[in-house]
Amino acid sequence: MVSIKDIAKQAGVSISTVSYALNGSRKVTQETTAKILAIAKELNYIPNAAARTLKKRETKIAGVYLTNYSGAFYGELQQGMLDQLAHHRYELIVCSGKESHRFLPEGMIDGAIILDAHFSNEELLSYADRGHKLVVLDRELQHENITQVLLDNKTGAKLVVDHAAELGHRKLYIVTGPTGSFDSSQRLQQALLTAEKNGIECSVIQGDFNKASGEQAGRKIIEEYSGPVAAFCLNDEMAIGMYNALSGTAYKVGKHVHIIGFDNIEVAQYTHPRLTTIDYSKREWGAAGAEQLIKLIKKESSSHKKVGVTLSEGESLCRL
């Protein structure tokens, strides 16, 4: 592998001069810099990223940890992160799985955005104690090196249940996300509280934030059906799965089973009847997370953020 020693020898300059030139320092004349860059290109010189990281103590790379990459939700979220990081000349790597957790303590990334239930609070706090910078999108943690950028799940759940009550619904199924999901827990807690205040009878069905669990919940509702009922799926993937379960049966969405989702993913706009759901900008959520991470890395003032939500009314939830 070609090193800066090889470039220095061919250019007839010192190693430090080559280093300054490759890093764009004004300590080297434009003429000498141009000569060194030309030789580096000729020799196919590739900078040693590990050595650069040791010297500068930065990689200019941020990580985002996700439980999985499936579903339509993650694309917009990651794009928001990418756009914001690019403004600061940072790049993003997407991580999943236990082995990638070592990227933080080994200094392979400068900080991380967390939306991954596989991290325990204790593990994240241990990294923060060692000075690693973290933004969490899926839990509440208090530490000077951790900033929370959370979705306003409770407001979203309250909007859904209040709207169902206004339309005359008094029986509600709630299809949850996976056990341990912060978002699911927050939505469920608020939905049950709001339902109680509105005199709505609730039944909870365990889901998994995917279409298959939505289909399974739909089949269960059909088996137990005794009259018009509302079903609040705590994400749109499960709501679409429930549409699939009812398709081809005598039970119609918006007439027999009134379906509500959460996330307003793009495909939800093409459901028929159109899905009533909770809307927010996934891109803005990702951008906000990235912005706060950069502030932490640069030791600037960082603050907890809450991403606002609104109710997007469709025809899948109708008046009784």
User: How many CB atoms sit inside 10 A of residue 251's CB?
Assistant: 17
Residue ranges per structural domain of the chain: 4-56, 61-150+282-307, 153-280
Q: Is the pLDDT of residue 49 over 60?
A: no
* pLDDT value at residue 56: 57
H/E element, 202: strand 201-205
CATH no. of 153-280: 3.40.50.2300
User: How much is the pTM?
Assistant: 0.82
* pLDDT value at residue 64: 97
245's tokens: 């379960």
Mean pLDDT across the stretch 182-194? 97
Least-confidence region, from 103-107, 185-189, 191-195: 103-107
Mean pLDDT across the stretch 170-182? 96
Given a contact cutoff of 8 angstroms between Cβ atoms, the answer to whether 10 and 43 are in contact is yes
CATH no. of 61-150+282-307: 3.40.50.2300
- Indicate the DSSP class of residue 143: B
Per-residue model confidence as pLDDT tens digits over 118-138:
899 999 999 999 999 999 999
**pLDDT class for 72, splitting at 50, 70, 90?**
low
- CB-based contacts of 91: which residues, under 8 Å, 6+ apart? 60, 61, 62, 85
Same fold, 4-56 and 153-280: no
CATH number, domain 4-56, options 3.20.20.60, 1.10.260.40, 2.60.120.10, 3.10.20.30 = 1.10.260.40
**pLDDT class for 191, splitting at 50, 70, 90?**
very high
